Amino acid sequence: MSPLMQWYRLRWTLTQEWHDIYQPENIDDLQRFFDKYMLGVDNGWEKTPKVRCSMLGYNRPSVVDRPACKYPPADFNYETLFLDANTGSLSDCQPPDQGVVGYQADSRSDDGCKFVHTVKEYTELFGIPKLKVWMSTEDHDDMVSRW
């Protein structure tokens, strides 16, 4: 194991960084790290979980600092969903036909585009979602605003 791997820790938080970092318990946690590796204090820091996962609970209590040995956690599953412009949905299989959905970006009354996906069982979304979208405009040859 490399020396770096012995001390690294990842803590995925529920709040914005600036708010989280100034909470007393998080300042104390950071102080324990510095005490261990800058001053050589034997304070048990190395027993801190390698990864601590937090997830917002929209219709249930939030998950806070769930320990894991690695990132992504061992029971993590990557899922690929496809946007279907013809049905306005997300599905686990690629749509049979290409589609186009549009909206008027500079209109206050246009609600934009919506895609719906129903999750059929308890699911925790953890990590960084990625979306690949091809966009175009009929009015210009690029997506730069021309005010």
pTM of the model: 0.69
What residues does each domain of the chain span?
3-68, 77-147
Q: State yes or no: pLDDT of 111 exceeds 60.
A: yes
Confidence of residue 1 (pLDDT cuts 50, 70, 90): low
- β-strand partners of 91: 82
The pair of three-digit structure tokens given for residue 96, joined into one six-digit string: 């049979």
Residue 116 DSSP code: B
Give the type of residue at 113. Answer: C
Task: Locate all alpha helices (DSSP H) within the chain, ordered by sequence.
Answer: 3-7, 17-21, 24-39
DSSP E strand boundaries for the chain: 10-11, 51-55, 63-68, 82-84, 89-91
How many angstroms separate the CA atoms of 98 and 113, rounded? 16
